[in-house]
C-alpha cells in the first residue's frame, strides 16, 4: 500500500502538483508531505476486515458521474507484523461537519492508543505548511475498555496506533 499514489519530491511553489517539498520554500512542507509521513508510520503489514456503521455520502445531484456514493468516514485497519499494534486511519471528508467516532475492538486486547490528526481545512489555503503544528496535532483519541473514541473535525484524517497487551 505504501507508495501506491503519484508523488514527486520537488515542486515549484506556484505549481505544487504532487510535490512534497519546494526549493523555493526552505523549511516548509507541502500538505501532501505530512499525509505521506503520517500514512507511512501508521500502516501495518496485514490489512484487516472490519464492519460497522458510518455516515453515508451521496453526491448532489444523485446521478453525478464525477462522484460516487460511499462512507463519509472511510477507515483502513492494519496490524503490525508482530501483531502487537493495530493501526487505524480514519478520514472525514465533510467540509462542514465534525464526526464522532466510536471504534469497538474485537479480538484485540488493547492497552493504549495514541495518534495524530491531519487537519488543514479550506480548499483555498496555501498548501505549504510551516510549522508542522499548523496541520498536525494530537488526535485526542481515548481508549475505554475495548473501544477507541475520538471526534474527527471537518476535512481531517486521524492516524491511530492501538497498542496491544
In a domain, 19, yes or no: no
pTM of the model: 0.83
In a domain, 145, yes or no: yes
How many CB atoms within 10 Å of residue 53? 7
Q: Where in the sequence is the domain holding 138, given as residue range(s)?
A: 45-164
**According to the model, what pLDDT value does residue 152 have?**
96
**According to the model, what pLDDT value does residue 150 have?**
97
What's CA 3's distance to the chain center, in Å? 15
In a domain, 65, yes or no: yes
**According to the model, what pLDDT value does residue 27 have?**
77
**According to the model, what pLDDT value does residue 4 have?**
47
**According to the model, what pLDDT value does residue 25 have?**
64
**According to the model, what pLDDT value does residue 15 have?**
60
**For the chain, which residues score pLDDT lower than 50?**
1-2, 4
In a domain, 119, yes or no: yes
For residue 72, give the CATH number of its domain: 2.60.40.1180
In a domain, 53, yes or no: yes
**Cα→Cα distances 50→3, 35, 47, 78, Å:** 23, 23, 10, 10
Contact between 33 and 21 under an 8 Å Cβ cutoff? The reply is: yes
In a domain, 24, yes or no: no
In a domain, 17, yes or no: no
**According to the model, what pLDDT value does residue 148 have?**
97
In a domain, 28, yes or no: no
Q: What is the DSSP letter of 12?
A: B
How many domains does the chain contain in total?
1
Contact between 58 and 68 under an 8 Å Cβ cutoff? The reply is: no
Amino acid at each position: 500500500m505504501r507508495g501506491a499514489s503519484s508523488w514527486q519530491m520537488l515542486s515549484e511553489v506556484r505549481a505544487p502538483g504532487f510535490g512534497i517539498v519546494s526549493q523555493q520554500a526552505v523549511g516548509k512542507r507541502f500538505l501532501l508531505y505530512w499525509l505521506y509521513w503520517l500514512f507511512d508510520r501508521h500502516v501495518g503489514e496485514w490489512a484487516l476486515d472490519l464492519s460497522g456503521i458510518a455516515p453515508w455520502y451521496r453526491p448532489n445531484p444523485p446521478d453525478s458521474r464525477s462522484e460516487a456514493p460511499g462512507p463519509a468516514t472511510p477507515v483502513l485497519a492494519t496490524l503490525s507484523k508482530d501483531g502487537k499494534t493495530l493501526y487505524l486511519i480514519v478520514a472525514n471528508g465533510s467540509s462542514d461537519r465534525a464526526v464522532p467516532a466510536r471504534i469497538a475492538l474485537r479480538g484485540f486486547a488493547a492497552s493504549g492508543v495514541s495518534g495524530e490528526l491531519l487537519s488543514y481545512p479550506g480548499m483555498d489555503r496555501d498548501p505549504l505548511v510551516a510549522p508542522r503544528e499548523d496541520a498536525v496535532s494530537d488526535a485526542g483519541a481515548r481508549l475505554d475498555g475495548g473501544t477507541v473514541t475520538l471526534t474527527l473535525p471537518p476535512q481531517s484524517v486521524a492516524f491511530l496506533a492501538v497498542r496491544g497487551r
